[in-house]
Structure 1
Amino acid sequence: MTVTDETTATEPTGGLPRWDVSGFFPSLGSRELAAHTEQVFAEIGRLRARFDELGIRGGEAGPVTEAEVAVVDEVVPAFNRLFRDMRKVGSYLYAHTSTDARDDDAAGALSRYQAGTASFATLDTRFDAWLARWDLAEVVRRSTTAADHAYALERGATAARHQMSEAEEGLAAELALTGGRAWAKLHADLTSRLTATVDGEVLPMSMVRGLATDPDPARRKAAYDAELEAWDTVAVPLATAINAFKGEANTLNRRRGWTDSLDPALERNGVDRYTLAAMQEAVEASLPDWHRYLQAKARLLGHEGGLPWWDLIAPVGTPRRFAWPEATAAVRDAFATYSPRLAGLVDTAVADAWIDAEPRSGKVGGAFCMSVTDGVSRVLLNFDGSFDSVQTLAHELGHAYHNVNLGDRTPMQRDTPMALAETASIFCETIMVQAGLAAVGDDAGARLALLDGDLAGACQVVVDIHSRFLFERALSSEREQGVLSIDRLRTLMLEAQATAYGPGVDPDARHRDMWAVKGHYFTAYYNWPYTFGLLFGIGLYAEFQRDPERFRSGYDDLLSATGLGDAPSLAARFGIDVRDVAFWTASLDVLRARIDEFVEAAEG
């Protein structure tokens, strides 16, 4: 998924594609889907019986024997087969519910599927607890299967240190269907159906938010006012949802022995506190530069002081508008500056109907890419003809390229932490910006527009995500003391925005309800890995520029290995030390140089 969901579509645009998923299953009511789903349920049941038979659960440590090696050799392939089958069914069903929230048949099928697979989480935690009993180094030495999946097994054994009892983990997995997952679904259902009235026209929320790129300043302001009014109508259920979700997360963290709500996210992402602290230090040092950019843009748009929220991504200069064929051609041409293989992915995605670009009521906002089968993805976005939409297309196709490189890995080997999942997507965005800047040449208006489009997106990932991180830290902490009111949620959001945006944004024109807008909060600390991905991707692009041939020879292999090691060890392949503030500062310096150019052009 991408965080560049500030710019969803402004109006339904004819000729935009919808994805085709009929190649996976003929229909929701097909015998093929029913049989595949039943096969998944049966395999979970068979595996549960086998776990009981083999005694796969937590217990006393002991010496590694042939019996333990045989268990790994049997269970790991079984898990991989099951993961592959579960992904195909789950992705197919989500492809329907994410593009039509009113499809009751799809929603019902997805709900039944989630209920039928919920118990798999128990098997996963049981296997982790069993792994923690043995000397994994010895298991890896004696088993080729274990050696091929060493990092995944190590992560599982480490996760076992923070497990409740087997019965409690089983109960938690079952209750998640009516707890955390249900609250997340409520948020998705409400926000995908939400409408607002702008200048007398009733529009889906995704289109209302997309009006932030409209060339008419009065229409941008009207959309912002209408949006806030609309969020008021759903603030009560959304506040209930986020309180319930965070309350559940805090309770489970406590019972699992975590002392800080951030720690589970760090462990899941293969990132330690030293790395996060280094990145955050560099980000905070860069905030005054982002304030300079925002204030320069404010002056261009005729504002005194900071930029009002409704103009954060307003167009400046002479931005190009893209028809859909022009957008795909622009992405393909940019990707061709890196490699024919990357460019060819665009042809495949278009020809094989991987992309759903049409904005419409009932479709989720934002954008994402999901892997369906080995090397095959589906990409969702809400295209509005702006360069930012083209960037979003490049970003999501970057994820698809990552999936292609992971295609030969087993499901356990390609379980990529979020912090590394953004590597290819950001790299592809950077390629797109460089190609765009080269194409505009001496056209000052076009160059200013492209610089602003790039900086507006990067500002979201550096500055806005910093505000979301601050908000979530405060929310998780205060939720330990009780339920937060709507007013308190809004206050925390505005305080976080004040810290991150500083004088760059008009203090009387921030967005009090960003906590309601973003479904990201229904995955703990989902946001900061995007900043990691942006700056890591820029750092990788710098390595590409230094030695293109050497970089190309190792980049695809890096992408194929993102589930095989933690972030520091994988970054070290390119001589990058992610625990060093200097690395993150150097990546931000690339953006600072673009800010300098923008400010000079804006004031020239």
Structure 2
Amino acid sequence: MDDAQNSSVENQDLGQLPVWNLDDLYPGKDSAELKRDLADASEKARNFEADHAGRLANLSGDQLGSAIETYEEVQEMLGRIMSYAQLVYAADMADGENRRFYQSMQEQATDISSHLLFFELELNRLAESQLQSMLESSERLARYAPWLRDLRAYQPYQLSDDVERTLHEKHVTGRAAWTRLFDETFADLRFDLDGKALTSTEILDKLSSPDRALRERAARAFAAGLKANERSFALITNTLAKDKQIEDQWRGFARPVSSRNLANFVEDEVVDALVSAVTESFPRLSHRYYAMKAKWLGLDKLAFWDRNAPLPENDERIIPWEEAQDTVLNAYAAFSDDLAKVGERFFEQDWIDAPARHGKAPGAFAHPTVPAAHPYLLLNYQGHVRDVMTLAHELGHGVHQVLAGPQGPLMADTPLTLAETASVFGEMLTFRSLLASTQDPAKRKAMLASKVEDMLNTVVRQIAFHNFETRVHDRRREGELSQQDLADIWMETQREALGPAFDLDEDYRIYWSYIPHFIHTPFYVYAYAFGDCLVNSLYAVYQQADEGFADKYLDMLRAGGTKRHRELLAPFGLDASDPTFWQKGLSVIEGMIDELESLDGQSAAQ
């Protein structure tokens, strides 16, 4: 399918599934518009360097504000180019031309941006007193105060200009190349199940089948495919961990997670408190829930392919796309018409690519692109309830990105910890709407259990992933980790999280290797738990709030990256630095498990 074609795919069970139209970025890989923007960005970047390198300290406040505006303009041009390249690549990673195009755009963007690199480095060398004086003298510059605040946070970790340039220019042949190797290796994998060659998306979907024998065959086939590439995955993981260790040591980060915390503008101690609170809650949450699930399924022990098994009462019908769209938008509208109206644009204007197909990136994401355009959503929609929840989740990201867009390219992006707020809140709105419309007690129990599992996957599983990453990166400092070492750490952290209800066999030892966040964005995963616990607390406020809550919520989304978590949560009376904050969020999950235990007891008494 041509990357610019406006189309949809007819599926017998799912209806018309939308395929995104990338014309709003560029009409094609060879388009005159793309070539023009590459040339313009290159010329503007070189002129910007010639005009400003070594001269920032001599500028007035208005002149520096003007310089930042030009810098922002070039960054947006590069952002549009790379967003387009990434989306074309994600739509079909198996296509050799798409691979070459993506690599070519990365190389050209890196070359162009190398002429901009001096700007942030030189800004960080300005004396604080001089910068403050400039900010006070110029409204034009003061608009960028939040961006400058965040940029200056990196000041203690900044290296010499030559080293920074070397790291920047070699990124495309270093970390980016190893990441691309992982992505393309994984996209090319096919898993043999009952004589059919399935993609990762297709075979992972079988792990939620009500047929236990099918789940086991799928789980073992997935393990076999991963094991065939275990050496490559271990090499990629070791190389990227060592690469991170070297750069962290050069910059002076005390711990492997510290650079991610800085990027998220969240204090180390806040993340430590989250991780400790969730880890200590494992027995009260996941261990207790999975013991109940084993009983519901009539099993003494759960196998790893039973983790996402549906309950007997689950709604296993296939949900057509149009119904999924209505379900999510109606849930959004019940909270805020304004929120739903932004969401409607994604469906009306072909901003979503929904069908699962060979070569397409697995999973789901919302790509913000650039404020001058709009976000795009990638899904692999297969009609299950969890796919509806994924749509609600990614649409939340997309709506957030649209609302934050007016902040501009430099300030629209939100740290990962807060980027999950709108997505998880959208999921919660959709779940509560579905639950309220379900009267049958057995189906309500199944829905509640499904939601608990989603929350455990978002909180417990992601913190288990975080613990795995922490131990891997700590151990990597002592030397290269063997395939056995990686598997041992994986099993250790998974047993801690899942508890005694599970019997994890040898085939599960390879499952560490398919988690893309470990490769793409080290220590990303705790942001999911951060967002879920935050939203649990936020939703509790909403349930008790007056009519002004929705307006405050939308204002929070519109702020983009201009405010830190403390400022954003203050209007709701929440503070993530409060040691008791995480317990509030976890207590919501615990309360749902309590309710399930109560329903279980009532059923047994009848």
**What TM bracket, shorter-length normalisation?**
over 0.9
- Aligned residues of 1:183 and 1:241 also touching (Cα < 8 A): yes
Unmatched runs of 5 consecutive residues or more in structure 1: 1-9, 57-63
Change (3 A) 1:87 1:404: same
- Aligned residues of 1:282 and 1:585 also touching (Cα < 8 A): yes
Change (3 A) 1:432 1:14: closer
1:22 — aligned with what?
23
1:211 — aligned with what?
206
Q: Distance in 2 between matches of 1:234 and 1:465?
A: 24
Which stretch of the first structure deviates more once superposed, 424-433 or 283-292?
A: 283-292
Residue 295, structure 1, aligned to residue 291, structure 2: yes
Classify the secondary structure of the residue corresponding to 1:202.
Answer: strand
Q: Distance in 1 between matches of 2:246 and 2:574?
A: 37
Change (3 A) 1:240 1:525: same
- 2:126 corresponds to which of 128, 133, 136: 133
- Aligned residues of 1:151 and 1:564 also touching (Cα < 8 A): yes
2:258 — aligned with what?
263
- Aligned residues of 2:421 and 2:535 also touching (Cα < 8 A): yes
- Aligned residues of 1:414 and 1:563 also touching (Cα < 8 A): yes
1:92 — aligned with what?
84
2:149 — aligned with what?
154
1:6 — aligned with what?
none
Deviation of residue 390 (structure 1)?
0.4
Q: Distance in 1 between matches of 2:444 and 2:159?
A: 56
Query: For 1:234-273, what per-residue CA distance to the aligned partner results, in whole angstroms no more than 9, with x for missing partners?
Result: 1111111111111111101111122211111111101102
**Equivalent residue runs for 1:75-90 within 5 Å:** 75-90=67-82
Deviation of residue 549 (structure 1)?
1.6
**Equivalent residue runs for 1:481-492 within 5 Å:** 481-492=478-489
Q: Distance in 2 between matches of 1:551 and 1:121?
A: 44
- Aligned residues of 2:356 and 2:380 also touching (Cα < 8 A): yes
Corresponding letter in the other structure for 1:172:
L
1:518 — aligned with what?
515
Classify the secondary structure of the residue corresponding to 2:19.
Answer: coil
- Aligned residues of 2:286 and 2:497 also touching (Cα < 8 A): no
Residue 284, structure 1, aligned to residue 285, structure 2: no
- 2:241 corresponds to which of 235, 246, 253: 246
Corresponding letter in the other structure for 2:299:
H
Please report the TM-score for the alignment, with normalisation by the length of structure 2. Answer: 0.92
Which stretch of the first structure deviates more once superposed, 367-376 or 488-497?
A: 367-376
Corresponding letter in the other structure for 2:310:
P
1:594 — aligned with what?
592
Classify the secondary structure of the residue corresponding to 2:458.
Answer: helix
Q: Distance in 2 between matches of 1:405 and 1:166?
A: 36
Classify the secondary structure of the residue corresponding to 2:197.
Answer: strand
Deviation of residue 49 (structure 1)?
2.1
1:60 — aligned with what?
none
- Aligned residues of 1:18 and 1:356 also touching (Cα < 8 A): yes
Corresponding letter in the other structure for 1:572:
A
- Aligned residues of 2:18 and 2:355 also touching (Cα < 8 A): yes
- Aligned residues of 2:397 and 2:419 also touching (Cα < 8 A): yes
Corresponding letter in the other structure for 2:503:
D
Classify the secondary structure of the residue corresponding to 2:293.
Answer: helix
Q: Distance in 2 between matches of 1:55 and 1:127?
A: 13
Q: Distance in 1 between matches of 2:201 and 2:355?
A: 11
Corresponding letter in the other structure for 1:131:
N
Change (3 A) 1:548 1:195: farther
Unmatched runs of 5 consecutive residues or more in structure 2: 1-10
Corresponding letter in the other structure for 1:438:
A
Corresponding letter in the other structure for 1:527:
V
Change (3 A) 1:602 1:330: same
Query: For 1:45-90, what per-residue CA distance to the aligned partner results, in whole angstroms no more than 9, with x for missing partners?
Result: 22222233x435xxxxxxx77x252452122101221222122211
- 1:499 corresponds to which of 496, 506, 510: 496
Deviation of residue 569 (structure 1)?
2.5
Classify the secondary structure of the residue corresponding to 2:229.
Answer: helix
Please report the TM-score for the alignment, with normalisation by the length of structure 1. Answer: 0.92
1:464 — aligned with what?
461
- 2:314 corresponds to which of 318, 325, 328: 318
Deviation of residue 126 (structure 1)?
4.3
2:366 — aligned with what?
369
- Aligned residues of 1:212 and 1:223 also touching (Cα < 8 A): yes
Classify the secondary structure of the residue corresponding to 2:93.
Answer: coil
Corresponding letter in the other structure for 1:505:
F
Deviation of residue 416 (structure 1)?
1.3
Q: Distance in 2 between matches of 1:11 and 1:384?
A: 11
- Aligned residues of 2:421 and 2:534 also touching (Cα < 8 A): yes
1:188 — aligned with what?
183
**Equivalent residue runs for 1:378-389 within 5 Å:** 378-389=376-387
Deviation of residue 125 (structure 1)?
5.9
- Aligned residues of 1:300 and 1:602 also touching (Cα < 8 A): no
2:6 — aligned with what?
none
1:236 — aligned with what?
231
- Aligned residues of 1:12 and 1:360 also touching (Cα < 8 A): no
Q: Distance in 2 between matches of 1:439 and 1:124?
A: 54
2:418 — aligned with what?
420
Deviation of residue 11 (structure 1)?
11
Classify the secondary structure of the residue corresponding to 1:17.
Answer: strand
Classify the secondary structure of the residue corresponding to 1:362.
Answer: coil
Corresponding letter in the other structure for 1:185:
R
1:578 — aligned with what?
576
Change (3 A) 1:121 1:331: farther
Corresponding letter in the other structure for 1:148:
R
Corresponding letter in the other structure for 1:162:
Y
**Equivalent residue runs for 1:41-80 within 5 Å:** 41-52=42-53, 54-56=54-56, 67-80=59-72
Corresponding letter in the other structure for 2:89:
T
Corresponding letter in the other structure for 2:116:
L
Corresponding letter in the other structure for 1:303:
L
Total equivalences in the alignment? 584
Q: Distance in 2 between matches of 1:278 and 1:189?
A: 37
- Aligned residues of 1:211 and 1:219 also touching (Cα < 8 A): yes
1:112 — aligned with what?
104
Deviation of residue 132 (structure 1)?
3.7
Corresponding letter in the other structure for 1:145:
R
Q: Distance in 2 between matches of 1:463 and 1:476?
A: 20
Classify the secondary structure of the residue corresponding to 2:24.
Answer: coil
2:40 — aligned with what?
39
- Aligned residues of 1:367 and 1:396 also touching (Cα < 8 A): yes
- Aligned residues of 1:319 and 1:445 also touching (Cα < 8 A): no
Change (3 A) 1:68 1:237: farther
Deviation of residue 146 (structure 1)?
2.9
**Equivalent residue runs for 1:396-415 within 5 Å:** 396-415=394-413
Query: For 1:506-563, what per-residue CA distance to the aligned partner results, in whole angstroms no more than 9, with x for missing partners?
Result: 2337832333111101212111011111111222222222114221221111112130
Change (3 A) 1:118 1:285: same
Deviation of residue 303 (structure 1)?
1.7
- Aligned residues of 1:448 and 1:601 also touching (Cα < 8 A): yes
Q: Distance in 2 between matches of 1:278 and 1:240?
A: 32
Change (3 A) 1:279 1:556: same
Q: Distance in 1 between matches of 2:498 and 2:118?
A: 41
- Aligned residues of 1:125 and 1:163 also touching (Cα < 8 A): no
- Aligned residues of 2:355 and 2:380 also touching (Cα < 8 A): yes
CA RMSD of superposed structures (Å): 2.0
Residue 226, structure 1, aligned to residue 221, structure 2: yes
Deviation of residue 318 (structure 1)?
2.7
Corresponding letter in the other structure for 1:464:
R
Classify the secondary structure of the residue corresponding to 1:28.
Answer: coil
Deviation of residue 22 (structure 1)?
2.2
Q: Distance in 2 between matches of 1:384 and 1:598?
A: 28
1:59 — aligned with what?
none
Deviation of residue 315 (structure 1)?
1.1
Corresponding letter in the other structure for 1:531:
A
